[in-house]
Amino acid sequence: MENCYINGIGCISAQKSFEKDYLIEPIVYSEENILKVVKPNYKDYISPAAVRRMSSGVKNGIVASTMAINDAGIESPGAIITGTGMGCMQDSEKFLNNLINHDEEYLTPTSFIQSTHNTVGGQVALGLKCKAYNFTYVNTGVSFESALLDGLMQVENQDGQNVLVGGIDELADHTSKLYKLIKHTKSDDEAPYDIINKRTKGSISGEGAAFFVLDKEKTANSYCKLADVKFVNNLENSGLETFVNDFLASNDLIASDIDVILFGNNGDIEFDSYYDQLEPLFGEAAILYYKHLFGEFMTSSSIAVSLGSDILRSQSIPGALFKNEVSHPKGEIKNLLIYNQYRGKDHSLILLKNV
Amino acid sequence: MSNRVAITGMGIISSIGMDLEENLNSLKNSRHGISKIEHIDTKLKDKILVGEIKKTNQELESILKLPQKNSWSRTSMIGTIAALEAINNAGIDVKSDSDIGFINATTVGGMDMTERYFYDFIDNPENRRYIQSHDAGNNTHNICDYIGLNGFVTTISTACSSAANAIMLGARMISSGRLDKVIVGGTDALSKFTMNGFNTLMILSDTYNTPFDENRKGLNLGEGAAYLVLESEKSYKKRNKQPIAFVSGYANANDAFHQTASSEDGEGAFLAMKKAFEVAELTPKDIDYINVHGTATPNNDLSEGRAIINIYKDSEKVPEFSSTKPFTGHTLAAAASIEAVFSIFALREGLIFPNLNFKDKMKEFDLTPVAELGHKEVNTILSNSFGFGGNCSSLIFTKSH
């Protein structure tokens, strides 16, 4: 297999992730069950007219992809691959609202056009005048992982071409209300929220956009190596350990080789047991979590890849990410594993390695 | 031909038939499925024609024996019907074979239910089970859970080229050795959301769609689903299965011109076709028939026609071509897999299906689609699919000898 390096990152999230070392003093959320992104200065990246027209997901996608491209120091990628679980919900809601409340009259095309799942992929291509391969994945909890795997395959197959990969999801008001009704989002009356020590039904909802430039070549800016990605829709009973061990074995690793593991704990009493199951397997690793700072959304593992990449390049772990006690690994952080699942389905593993 | 991937099964449901046999019969007899809409209560009822599957949701539920209180969208149901036929046709056992993947495509997902209950959800707990069926992936999960598939599962949504990209990813997963067998294709049901959306873009015809005709007035939306089973050489030889055809070439490119319109010279389309020939190690003159995207919008057909002429350098050298959208309507995320099934029919039966309703050649170029059912040996087919976001995909299918 060819080497695949992460050479540039752009991330818009519920933290000030557009700034360097933003987790030294993270924004701490305890009263909120919906975490919105900290807005970057959109006008630095997008024309004022477009800023007004575009939904926040599209804007965040454009800003994060531009940041990643600038960070990697490339002109235009050889492929653009995005993942989004819910797609452009704000424009979907706008069009639905007009459709239902105005009985199919007085509709305008703008929100329909912008509601398409591949809007971000299309807009990024349009902005860069990039005529290359352009895919969008929409498979709930592995939408971003699908894009990442495709990116890895593109790097294997393309000669000297870098690949832009990103995950984007946006919150939309009515849909957020609906997800509270079915308790996918934690109830309003449960605050303060503590996803580790107070598990209840549902998660803290979030949104964000994280983009990465993947390349066959290592550069001075390389964060880490993207070694492998794997995901499945369902795991049979007690299949989780086998799934993880098989994945590690296919990468010539065993569990004790993993120095840092990033878990997708979101405080959901129905599904966080998956992480509990794996914890003993990684007794020697630093066990981290992140959704208390970023919220849960279908492409939230894109945030994990951004965090993992930062940890590997800086060889240090922000204190706010430790799940139990702070225990920095002794020596070099070589192998970092990300495990995530979405409501008991779409289990995914991402392996990052130090370079 | 190192990139060639075998097709060992297929399944389909569309407005011209509930299965492979019905679809082929309709194609052979020039029987289209375009009509007034019956199953959705919409103000557009008397203004547009669509390719609707004439089964109510209740009828589809009973075909699948779903429990009365289910949370299935129409997209999931028609997808499952087509996927079951593909599995059966390929003779694979999804439940016992853990190495089978599923790559779906959809644009509407569960929108048909969301638009029905969007505000009603608040006051009516009864229907809240449909809230989680909105996202595209949920539809794919429903299909996989029904057919008992556990493994590599993903979904693509790139508007009208979605299923072409699902087929392309499947072929790449097989040729890179990551999977031995994979079910690929797309499903989309009609919804008020898409009908009204396309209506605001003013690209819906009020009569039967007429691709590549000078007087074309726009598209008819349709609904349907189709899947192919792709398989590695090692896998089909091991189980003594004869491929029904091959996916030999594939490529995707972006027009990077406009969010919904195609560029005038169809550069994205040109690049997609050119790259597909490179992957297939074939040249344009090897193509016996082109199944064009041919939506019958003024913009698509002009742009696609110009791109095809650019590929062939001369309109006289363009092989026989037709759009089959006058049969089924434009089925969006399912279109490319439905047209892949039609292409495999063409290879197998030695038939070229007609571009129905065609009368007058477009004035911009000298391209005349096949307007009557044609009989000839067909060995290699190019199939185009283009979508919003500038997304352009081309696939090449070759006959299994």
| Same-domain status, B34 and B178 | yes
CA gap B85, B228 in Å, rounded: 10
B2/A contact by beta carbon, under 8 A:
no
CATH classification at residue B378? 3.40.47.10
Mutant choice from B149, B150, B156, B385 vs A, greatest count of A C-beta within 10 A? B156
| Same-domain status, B202 and B260 | no
| Same-domain status, B210 and B253 | no
Q: Which of A104, A131, A234 sits opposite B42 (nearest CB)?
A: A104
Asked whether A12 and A208 are in contact (CB, 8 A), the reply is yes
pLDDT score of A1: 61
CATH no., domain A5-215: 3.40.47.10
Min Cα–Cα distance to chain A from B81, Å? 20
Would you call B158 and A130 a contact, using CB atoms and an 8 Å cutoff?
Answer: no
pLDDT score of A330: 77
Would you call A153 and B176 a contact, using CB atoms and an 8 Å cutoff?
Answer: yes
Tell me: pLDDT of A52 over 50: yes
Displacement of CA A265 from its chain's centroid (Å): 14
Block residue for tokens 């509601």: A115
pLDDT score of A159: 62
Residue B369 in domain = yes
Using the 3D structure, point to which of B238, B267, B301 is the last residue of a domain: B238
Residue B339 in domain = yes
A159/B contact by beta carbon, under 8 A:
no
Instruction: Find the largest Cα–Cα distance for chain A.
Output: 65
Name the closest residue on chain A to residue B138, using Cα atoms: A140
pLDDT score of A236: 76
Residue B244, classed as helix, strand or coil, is: coil
Residue B243 in domain = no
pLDDT digits (tens, 9 = 90+) for B31-87: 999 999 999 999 999 999 999 999 999 999 999 999 999 999 999 999 999 999 999
Tell me: pLDDT of A275 over 90: yes
Predicted confidence band at A180 (pLDDT cuts at 50, 70, 90)? very high
Cα A20 to Cα A11, A17, A308, B222: the distances in Å are 11, 7, 15, 50
Using the 3D structure, point to which of B203, B238, B273 is the last residue of a domain: B238
Predicted confidence band at B97 (pLDDT cuts at 50, 70, 90)? confident
Would you call B172 and A116 a contact, using CB atoms and an 8 Å cutoff?
Answer: no
| Same-domain status, B234 and B125 | yes
Tell me: pLDDT of B244 over 70: yes
Chain A residues touching residue B125 (CB < 8 angstroms): 181
Asked whether A178 and A96 are in contact (CB, 8 A), the reply is no
Which residues in chain B (362-391) have CB-CB distances under 8 A to chain A?
387-391
Name the closest residue on chain B to residue A116, using Cα atoms: B159
Average pLDDT over chain B, rounded to an integer:
96
ipTM score over 0.90, yes or no: yes
In this prediction, residues B249-266 reach a mean pLDDT of 92
Residue B205 in domain = yes
Would you call A137 and B387 a contact, using CB atoms and an 8 Å cutoff?
Answer: no
- Nearest-10 Cα torsion for A210, A213, A214, A216: -170
Predicted confidence band at B3 (pLDDT cuts at 50, 70, 90)? low
**Domain region containing B120:** 5-238
Domains contained in chain B, number? 2
Would you call B193 and A96 a contact, using CB atoms and an 8 Å cutoff?
Answer: yes
In this prediction, residues A55-72 reach a mean pLDDT of 98
pLDDT digits (tens, 9 = 90+) for A95-117: 999 999 999 999 999 999 999 99
Q: Which of B178, B200, B255 sits opposite A112 (nearest CB)?
A: B200
In this prediction, residues A161-184 reach a mean pLDDT of 97
In this prediction, residues B146-166 reach a mean pLDDT of 97
| Same-domain status, B373 and B350 | yes
Which tokens is B144 given?
């996989």
Block residue for tokens 């185009």: B384
pLDDT score of A310: 98
Helix or strand (DSSP H, E) at B181: strand B181-188
| Same-domain status, B253 and B234 | no
Residue B277 in domain = yes
- Interface A-B, measured as beta-carbon pairs within 8 A, has a size of 206
CA gap B368, A143 in Å, rounded: 42
| Same-domain status, B182 and B39 | yes
Tell me: pLDDT of A326 over 80: no
Q: What are the DSSP E strand ranges found in B218-304?
A: 221-222, 224-231, 245-254, 289-291
In this prediction, residues A267-294 reach a mean pLDDT of 96
Sign, Cα dihedral of A89, A93, A96, A98: negative
CA gap A76, A294 in Å, rounded: 29
B101/A contact by beta carbon, under 8 A:
no
Average pLDDT over chain A, rounded to an integer:
95
In this prediction, residues A327-337 reach a mean pLDDT of 88
Which residues in chain A (336-355) have CB-CB distances under 8 A to chain B?
345-346
Tell me: pLDDT of B285 over 60: yes
CATH topology of domain A225-353: Peroxisomal Thiolase; Chain A, domain 1 (3.40.47)
B260/A contact by beta carbon, under 8 A:
yes
Residue B244 in domain = no
Domain ranges of chain A: 5-215, 225-353
Mutant choice from A88, A135, A169 vs B, greatest count of B C-beta within 10 A? A135
A17/B contact by beta carbon, under 8 A:
no
| Same-domain status, B278 and B210 | no
B394/A contact by beta carbon, under 8 A:
no
Using the 3D structure, point to which of B176, B203, B238 is the last residue of a domain: B238
pLDDT score of B99: 84
Residue B166 in domain = yes
Name the closest residue on chain A to residue B387, using Cα atoms: A118
In this prediction, residues A18-31 reach a mean pLDDT of 96
Would you call A107 and B122 a contact, using CB atoms and an 8 Å cutoff?
Answer: no
Would you call A125 and B256 a contact, using CB atoms and an 8 Å cutoff?
Answer: yes
| Same-domain status, B170 and B299 | no
| Same-domain status, B76 and B223 | yes
A138/B contact by beta carbon, under 8 A:
yes
Which residues in chain B (8-67) have CB-CB distances under 8 A to chain A?
42-44
Q: Do domains A5-215 and A225-353 have the same CATH topology?
A: yes
| Same-domain status, B12 and B72 | yes
Predicted confidence band at B2 (pLDDT cuts at 50, 70, 90)? low
The catalytic site residues of B sit at 160, 293, 330
Tell me: pLDDT of B1 over 90: no
In this prediction, residues B255-277 reach a mean pLDDT of 93
Min Cα–Cα distance to chain A from B136, Å? 6
| Same-domain status, B256 and B281 | yes
In this prediction, residues B269-279 reach a mean pLDDT of 97
Which residues in chain B (333-362) have CB-CB distances under 8 A to chain A?
none
pLDDT score of B96: 87
pLDDT digits (tens, 9 = 90+) for B356-381: 999 999 999 999 999 999 999 999 99
Tell me: pLDDT of B281 over 60: yes
